[in-house]
Structure 1
Amino acid sequence: MLITTYPIIDGSIRKLELPFWAWYPYNIREAPLFQIVYMYQFFCVWCIAFLSMNIDMSNTSLMMFVKVQCQLLCNNLRNLKNYDNCFNAKLIECIKHHQQILSFSNIANSFANKILLTQFFTSTASLGLALFQLSLVEPLTVDSYIIVFYIIAIIDEIFLYCWFGNEVEVTIK
């Protein structure tokens, strides 16, 4: 996301350079068109970043909700011995709670499966392209640092799903 401000930081905005190379059917070197295209690129990058971040957070929130519900169920099952007079009623509540967790988990999985698959493949493709781009730039330059930070962000995104998915698996077992 910070790449959108890079032309301002390095001064290339004075040369009317955009953050991203693109072909436009008009001359972007003219005053009002350059500002419009720059704001368009800025807005699009930030929208995509926030959309991706919100998808990641909503999916990991679903995973954490399932984890917490499983932990609550385990705690209730451990404390069943404390309910001598209403043991059967509490056991039935735990069984119903388990069924609700399974139902919610199935609904969440059917909702998130295609989204996660698409996100994983696009992240993997982006990672490969970013690594290729990194091989083309000079080491220890601003461009190489930008690409390295982008690679770290992609790896972090993939790691996020692996971490929270593992947390659910560990809680279930």
Structure 2
Amino acid sequence: MEVVMVIEEEEKNNEDALAEKIKDEDVLARSFIFILGILLSAEIANVLTNWGDMSKLTAVVTLLMTNCTHASKVAVLLRRQARIQTLLDTADSAAFSRYDKEYEDLLINYTWKGIFHHAIYQSFGGIAVFCWGFTPIADFVAGRSRQLPMEGWYPYNTTATPAFEITAAHQGIAIIIACFHNVAMDTLMTGLITVACCQLAILERNIISIDNKASIRGMQNDKPLERNTLAYQLLKRCAMHSNMIFHFISEIQNIFGTVIFFQFLSNCMIICLIAFNVSQINVYIPAVLIGMLTYMCCMTYQIFIFCWHGNELHLHSMRLVTAAYSNNWFSNTERFKRSLQIMMIRAHRPLTLCAGRIMLLSLDTFMQIMRMSYSIFTVLQGSAA
């Protein structure tokens, strides 16, 4: 009886702790939406008040497009949270060899690749945000008129004290949160693609080593099975693993494909508009110039990491075909050969990710987007001249 009471008390404490955690997360999410919502509203109002003035619109619309895309990604992640959690659980499961020492070198290698891309991407964003936040301080030191870190329309005089200090602080906090959160969401998507690439590399190694593993396990068994039977069992395990990987990649496509497409369209416009704004600057303030250039690099790298990871996924899937030839298939049974042939036929259809099922995530797509941005930039330059 006492044991039952102790168990019930522990369950009640766990439920209370979970409810308290959910409540804290809900408060944090509401605060996050409130802070960014004010900034987004001020930017939208600023665009509406300057409608028709192309010189001002090109200056204010870039950050608005970034924040609108950010808001759409937040909406998608909240709406598809359960499916994303399922992907994360799969990535952390034993089925994906998460804790297998045999593949430790591959897991470490792909983990460091993900960290490398995140560090570069976050560095560009962090420098841009720091420069924007430093703008009011630089203006004060240089004796220039007060200017907020970012353009926005507010229903009060933003140059008066303490309205200027409060608004500048709010913009600084909001843009820092938006920067880190945006980078986190993007690297979540590319991180899942990295997991898929890592699993394809593990699958490739397993297919190549089927014959060796079958021979070793056959000798270690007290009642050794025939080597060909063990090889067939290992091949079945590889087939099950490949099906899990294919489903994993299909879910990534279904969840994030549309968001990535709109991200590409937005960034294409942002890159050319920033380049145009830089070319139109008459007085070069170092903090402003560095902030704009690093912001453009950040937007460019944002496109690049998606295209690079999509390209890597394609290359990893194509290597499965040659992996099938690399094991000792010719000395196995007909059943093994037929099953391996089915896997090879499936591997001949390369795994690809698409942005909105329109643009392939590849390095060729990245170059096409860069050329498109430059074309739009030259059109804007011609119209301004």
In the superposition, the TM-score normalised over structure 1's length comes to 0.90
Task: Measure, in 1, the Cα distance between the counterparts of 2:263 and 2:176.
Answer: 17
Matches for 1:8-19 after TM superposition, within 5 Å: 8-11=137-140, 15-19=145-149
Deviation readout 1:35-75 (Å, 9 max, x if unpaired): 22111211221122112201221111011001000000000
Counterpart for residue 60 of structure 1: 190
Moved more, 160-169 or 5-14: 5-14
Matches for 1:95-114 after TM superposition, within 5 Å: 95-114=239-258
Give unpaired runs (5+ residues) of structure 2: 1-128, 216-226, 319-385
Counterpart for residue 150 of structure 1: 295
Counterpart for residue 42 of structure 1: 172
Sort the Cα spacing of 1:40 and 1:13 in 2 relative to 1 into closer, same or farther, 3 A: farther
Q: Does the CA contact (< 8 Å) of 2:135 and 2:147 recur in 1?
A: no
Matched residue type, 2:305: L
Counterpart for residue 128 of structure 1: 272
Q: Does the CA contact (< 8 Å) of 2:136 and 2:148 recur in 1?
A: yes
Q: Which consecutive segments of 4 or more residues in structure 1 shift more than 3 A? A: 12-16, 138-141
Counterpart for residue 5 of structure 1: 134
Displacement of 1:120: 1.4
Matched residue type, 1:8: I
Counterpart for residue 315 of structure 2: 170
Counterpart for residue 27 of structure 1: 157
Displacement of 1:13: 9.2
Task: Measure, in 1, the Cα distance between the counterparts of 2:136 and 2:147.
Answer: 7
Q: Does the CA contact (< 8 Å) of 1:138 and 1:144 recur in 2?
A: no
Q: Does the CA contact (< 8 Å) of 1:59 and 1:112 recur in 2?
A: yes
C-alpha root-mean-square deviation of aligned residues, in Å? 2.0
Q: Does the CA contact (< 8 Å) of 1:123 and 1:154 recur in 2?
A: yes
Sort the Cα spacing of 1:5 and 1:163 in 2 relative to 1 into closer, same or farther, 3 A: same
Deviation readout 1:3-34 (Å, 9 max, x if unpaired): 12222134269743211232221122332222
Deviation readout 1:76-104 (Å, 9 max, x if unpaired): 00011111431111111000000000011
Sort the Cα spacing of 1:115 and 1:74 in 2 relative to 1 into closer, same or farther, 3 A: same
Moved more, 90-99 or 160-169: 160-169
Task: Measure, in 2, the Cα distance between the counterparts of 1:156 and 1:122.
Answer: 13
- Give the secondary structure class of the aligned counterpart of 2:302: helix
Q: Which structure has the larger Rg over C-alpha atoms?
A: 2
Task: Measure, in 1, the Cα distance between the counterparts of 2:141 and 2:263.
Answer: 33
Moved more, 34-43 or 88-97: 34-43
Moved more, 102-111 or 40-49: 40-49
Task: Measure, in 1, the Cα distance between the counterparts of 2:142 and 2:163.
Answer: 13
Task: Measure, in 2, the Cα distance between the counterparts of 1:41 and 1:139.
Answer: 24
Task: Measure, in 1, the Cα distance between the counterparts of 2:291 and 2:242.
Answer: 46
Matched residue type, 1:171: H
Task: Measure, in 2, the Cα distance between the counterparts of 1:164 and 1:55.
Answer: 15
Q: Does the CA contact (< 8 Å) of 1:130 and 1:151 recur in 2?
A: yes
Give the number of equivalent residue pairs: 173
- Give the secondary structure class of the aligned counterpart of 2:151: coil
